[in-house]
Every structure is written in structure tokens, then in C-alpha cells.
Structure 1
Amino acid sequence: MRILQILGANDIKNLEENRLAISGAETLMYGIIRELIHYNINVSVVLDPWSSLKDKFEDMGIPVYYLTSKILLDLNTVKGLIDIVHKERVDLIHSHGYRQDFYTTIVSSFTGIPFVITRHSPIEKREWKGMKKKIFKTVDHISLLKSKKIICVSREIEKNIEKELHAKSRVLYIPNGIYVSKFKPKRNYKLKNGIPVITTIARIEERKGFRWLFETLALLKKKMNFKFQWVGHGMDFNLAKQIVSILKLEENVQFLGIRKDIDQILYKTDIFLLPSLVEGLPISLLEAMACGVPSIATDVGEVSSVIKHGVTGYLVKPGDKQTLLDIILYLAKNEAKRREIGTQGRKFVVENYNVAETAKRYLSVYKDILSK
């Protein structure tokens, strides 16, 4: 079985903004591909040239190709993908992302190679507006119709696509997974010098909720001293820095950029925050909980399937600054509760979100498609 994973072919105009950013889709598929090769599956990967994961894939001996696109329909990108399909003698294409789905649909029509889509976030809640949104939704609808299967990382996405296609048999829910063994449990829940370390791990984009988060931190600053760190990069980095400056949070907030030592950062974190306006099933939340870090996240996408409010973590509505502030203060002042929430959160993730199980379910989908 020869599978081509398409994670690249994004707009080259975003090169500078995204050259360091790693998406949850990339992190997920890195883990799944590592598992698939244990089953003697031949995998090749298409990445953006700026992907931070290219060395990892190459070290695994996986053929890696680099493609971008200059416009929505870039014929050079289409040709490049067709050449890769022929060179690698691909049996099945697996696409990750709206632009990737579009190109995969075209390539499939020329080559006859079937394809499967993983939908990592809902198109309905993207920031596209006006005519651009209409075009992308039309193109996306065609891709969904042509694909053999659509894998959804949240029940919300699954429900929306089932409603759109009226084809329940082709739409299935497979939750994300992580290497739980990589993330050892946090042991020390005491605050260093009485100051909580608060961490967010996400791309720096408006839809990740940094604006209302920083406004909440400005309120927190009036109540207590704290250290906040944002791990990640993205197209709205300069805007985020500007907001931090306007709110006079420079002494409290650090932007750490892309880091490879996520587990070490999480061990030193007292509270994990994920303020997203839109999500599927966030990998960073699973990683934080796997480390036993008490976590607060917005009730969007599949987050509520992981966080049972007050048991494995805390849920807040997007933009609810007062509730978020109250929970941060409560956790910061209560070591026993931090330990309790962190311990229960880790237990739940370890038992339910192992990437090895996720990979088995993906492999089952591949076999099902190719058996017909």
C-alpha cells in the first residue's frame, strides 16, 4: 500500500508569515505516519518548503516533496502533484486542508487515484468573507463529493458535513491522538516564587483568540503577578505584539516562537490556556493534559469531549473574560486543585487519545477504500 500525504501546496504569499508555524494537522500526521511505517505502509509526503517538519520526515527515510501555489488554481502545482503520484506509484491520496483538497480532487480526476480527506477545522467558521468564502465553499463541496471518505476530528465537523452531503456512510469521526509516552506526568505543582507560569501553544492567528486572551491578562495583572508565554508563530504575530504593547503587558508576556522542547516547557507550566475561537480537536491541549498541566480551554469544536468541566479541566465560552479570569485566579491560589485537575486530565488523555490507536483507525479506512 502506497499512500501520498498532502500537507503542502499552500499559498506562497504566506511564506514569511508561516515559515516557522507548525499546524496541528502536521503534528498529528507526523505521529500517524511514524505508526504507519510499522505496518510496512509506504508513505510519501508533500510539504510546504517552509515546513519545520521536513527534517523529521527525511530522517525517517520518507520521500518528501515541496510544493506551493501562487493562485487558487496553479497548473504548475497540479502538474507537480501528478508527477509525484506517478513517481511514487501512489495507491491512495490523503489530503489535509481546503486548498490541498482542491488540488487532490483535480489530480484524482486525471490519474484515477482515489483520495480521502481529513477535515481538521470547520469551513463554516473560517475568517473568509464575501465572494472568497462563496468560492471556497463551492470548491470545497466538490472535493467532499468526490472523496471516498471524509475523516472528521470533531463531532461538530462530522455533523456539518453529513448534513451537507446527505452521505453518512462516507463521513466518519476519528479523534486526534498524541504520543502519550513522550509526555511524562508533572510532579511539582508548587508555584515558583508564588508566580504562576501560564502557557498557550498555538499558531498566532486571530481565530486562536489572542486578542481577548490578552485583554483578560490585562485584568489579571491588576490582581496578581504572573508570567505568560505563547509558544508558536503565525501570520498575526505583529498584531499580537502590538496588542501586548497597547495593554502594557510586555513585562508579563513572552513570545517563544516555535520550540522543539514542548514537553519541557509544559513541565514548567502551572496553567495551560487555549482561547481559540475555532478548533477541531487541538493537539496542544492533549499534550498539555498528558503532562498533567491543569488546562482551561474554550468550549469549541471537540474540546468538551476532552475537558469535563471541573473534572479534567475547565471550559469557558470564547470571549468570556470574567469567567476566564476567575478560573485563573482560583487555580493560581489552589495547589491541591491544580494537582487534582492535572492528574485527572492526564489520566483521561492517556486512556483515550493515544496516536497508535488513531493510526490503526486511519489504516482501516485506507484498507476499506482500496478493497473496493
Structure 2
Amino acid sequence: MRVVQLIDSLEAGGAERMAVNIANGLCNKLSFSALVTTRKEGTLKKSIQSNVVYSFLGKAHTFDLKAILRFRAFILANNIDIIHAHGSSYFFAILVKITFPKVKIFWHDHHGNRVHKQKTNSVLKLVSFFFSGVFTVNEELKDWARKKLFCKNIYFIPNFAVENLTEVATTFLKGEAGKRMICLANLRNPKNHITLLKSFVASDAKKLNWTLHLVGYDKNDVYSNNLKQFVKENDFEENVFFYGSCNDIGLILKQGNIGVLTSTYEGFPVTLLEYGMANLTVISTNVGYCKSVIQHNVTGLLFNPLDEIELTDCINFLLRDCIHSEKLSTNLYKFVSENYSELFVVSALIKHYNRAN
């Protein structure tokens, strides 16, 4: 079995991290594992293991014939059986399959808000005839796929996180050690950073000398500028710091104490697993699969992402109860280690791949 992971970019997002993690994980189980990026490279390129065959297509537009032919040539040259297409890359995979019907496509849906969007998924539904299987990151998406798509093989596949042992420390967080809160999320909707900032400002964090560290891709657009302006207007520039995309995420998280996720919707955020592996105490939004990882007051704290007061209360609670905070982080580390391992997920993927052969 020879499998290629297909992803649109290698910017530091959840779907992108999973594409890299799966490609790396399959190397230990299969004779051949590859990863192809269609549109844009990014910071995650450095996380691809040397034994993963990698290619960048430089796709310029949706129907880029040259990119399609390059990918087709890559498939033929490496005798690839399966394209594992992540997110919106499924359409490009379909265009290639039209030119080479023998190859099988498994689509991986990471879009946590697909079930609730009013926008139709007519193109996706139509081309799902070509899928040999569909992977979803939570049960709600699995139910949606079973009802809406023309594919009988629908599987829930949990995300997993791995520790990057080759990371080199290049990012050093500001603020006092032992009093650092981290939010690992690209600066864009639906990550809901403004609610986090409002709650942090309203909390006792500044009084207790805590700092907030925002790590994630920054386009320096209106969304980003509004956040920075809010920090400046509230005189929190010595307590809130922006870092942009970073390559040493695991080492960054080990410098923190509390990890926060405030998205208004999520599929299955790898971020929560990374927080757990880094022994952070977690405050998480209660959307998507989050509440399956974070059990309130057991493995972390949950809050409604639209409720600033609730988030402020969660922050204040953890700032003042270090013993309970440590207990929550210990419970989460154990839960993630026992339930979201690379070995379990990669073995499940191979089993489902085989069913299509």
C-alpha cells in the first residue's frame, strides 16, 4: 500500500498538522508514505520526516492543468494507490482521478462548522461518488456525511498529537515563569481571540502579574489589527504578546502554564491534545469535539465561547487555585496519553484503507 497525504498548504492549522502527523506516522507502517502540498508551503514543512516523500505543486488556480499533470506524474512515478485528501483539497484530488481512475480517494473532513453552515455543499455531495471512504474528526460530522454524501464508507478518526523531538528552541516567551497563559490559534475567525482578550483584561491577571501569549499565523489584517488595537487601548501591552507562526510549538507550550482555546466552532482541535501533552491546564470552548477531550472540572474547564463573564470566571479560578489547576493538567495528560496515540490512529487508518482494496 502506497499512500499520499494531500493538503492545500502547510501553514500551522489543525488539518495541516494532521496531514503531516499522518504522513510521518505511516512511514513506520507502510513501505511508502508521501505528502503533497497543492497551493502554499509553510512553517509545518520543517516537521515532515526525512523518510516522507514530499512535493509542492505550486497550484495557481482551481483548474491549474500544469499542477494536475504534475500530481498525476507524481502518482505514476511513485506507484501510489491512495490519495488521502484533507479538507478542501478533495476537489483537486477528483480532477486528478478523472485523468487516472485507478487511484482511490479518501477524504478527511476537518471542518467543524459544516453541519451548521447554511451554504450548500452541492459540489462536495456530487463528487463524493468518487470517494472510496470518508474520515471525519467527530461523530456529528460522521452523521452528516452518512446522510448527505454518496459514499458508504464513513469513519470517525480521532486526531492525535506527537512530540517533535527534533525541535530547536527559537521562541522564548516573555513574562514571569509560572504565570503564562498561551493561546495556540491562527489569528482569524472563528478563533474568537477578542473574547479571550476581553476576559483576560477583565480578570485579575494583570494584578497577579500573569501574561497572555498568542501564537499563530498573523496576516496583519483587520482581524489581527483589531486585536492589537484592543490591547493598546486597554494598556495591556506589557501583559499580552503576539508571536506569529512558530516552528517550536512543543517547546513553547512547555514554557506555559495555562492553555486556552476560545473558538466559536471546532471539529477536533489538535491544539487541545498538544496542550495536554505539554502538561498545561486547559480552558476550552465547549463546541465540536472539545467536550469529549475536556471534561469540565476533571481534565480542564469548559465555557460558552460567547460568554465573556464565564471565561473570566474560569481564568480567575485557575489563577487563584494552583493545586486544583495542577490536578486538572495531570488528569488531561493521562487522558490524552491513553486515548489519542499515534499508534491507535495510524492502525485504524490502515485498516480502513485496506477495506477499499
- Aligned equivalents of 1:69 and 1:123: distance in 2? 26
| Cα separation, partners in 2 of 1:232 and 1:194, compared to 1, 3 Å | closer
Q: Secondary structure at the match of 1:80?
A: helix
- Whether the 8 Å CA contact 1:151–1:171 is kept in 2: the answer is yes
1:203 alignment partner in structure 2: 186
| Cα separation, partners in 2 of 1:198 and 1:279, compared to 1, 3 Å | same
1:299 and 2:286 aligned:
yes
| Cα separation, partners in 2 of 1:145 and 1:297, compared to 1, 3 Å | farther
| Two-structure CA RMSD over aligned residues (Å) | 2.5
- Aligned equivalents of 2:225 and 2:325: distance in 1? 33
- Aligned equivalents of 1:125 and 1:217: distance in 2? 31
Aligned counterparts, 1:149-298, within 5 A: 149-165=133-149, 169-179=152-162, 196-220=179-203, 224-235=208-219, 236-298=223-285
- Whether the 8 Å CA contact 2:115–2:140 is kept in 1: the answer is no
1:51 alignment partner in structure 2: 42
Unpaired segments ≥5 residues, structure 2: 166-174
2:5 alignment partner in structure 1: 5
1:26 alignment partner in structure 2: 16
- Whether the 8 Å CA contact 2:12–2:186 is kept in 1: the answer is yes
TM-score if structure 2 supplies the norm length? 0.87
| Cα separation, partners in 2 of 1:144 and 1:234, compared to 1, 3 Å | farther
- Aligned equivalents of 2:238 and 2:130: distance in 1? 52
1:353 alignment partner in structure 2: 340
Relative contact order (C-alpha < 8 Å, sep 6+): which is higher? 1
- Whether the 8 Å CA contact 1:32–1:356 is kept in 2: the answer is no
More displaced stretch, 108-117 vs 324-333: 108-117
2:72 alignment partner in structure 1: 82
Give a deviation string over 1:7-36, Cα, whole Å, max 9, x none. Answer: 13x6xxxxxxxx8x3122222232222221
Cα deviation, residue 318, structure 1? 1.4
Give the number of equivalent residue pairs. 342
| Cα separation, partners in 2 of 1:194 and 1:148, compared to 1, 3 Å | closer
AA in 1 matched with 2:80? V
Cα deviation, residue 181, structure 1? 9.2
| Cα separation, partners in 2 of 1:348 and 1:82, compared to 1, 3 Å | same
- Whether the 8 Å CA contact 2:59–2:67 is kept in 1: the answer is yes
1:363 alignment partner in structure 2: 350
Higher helix share: 1
1:105 alignment partner in structure 2: 94
- Whether the 8 Å CA contact 1:228–1:252 is kept in 2: the answer is yes
- Aligned equivalents of 2:215 and 2:188: distance in 1? 12
Aligned counterparts, 1:318-333, within 5 A: 318-333=305-320
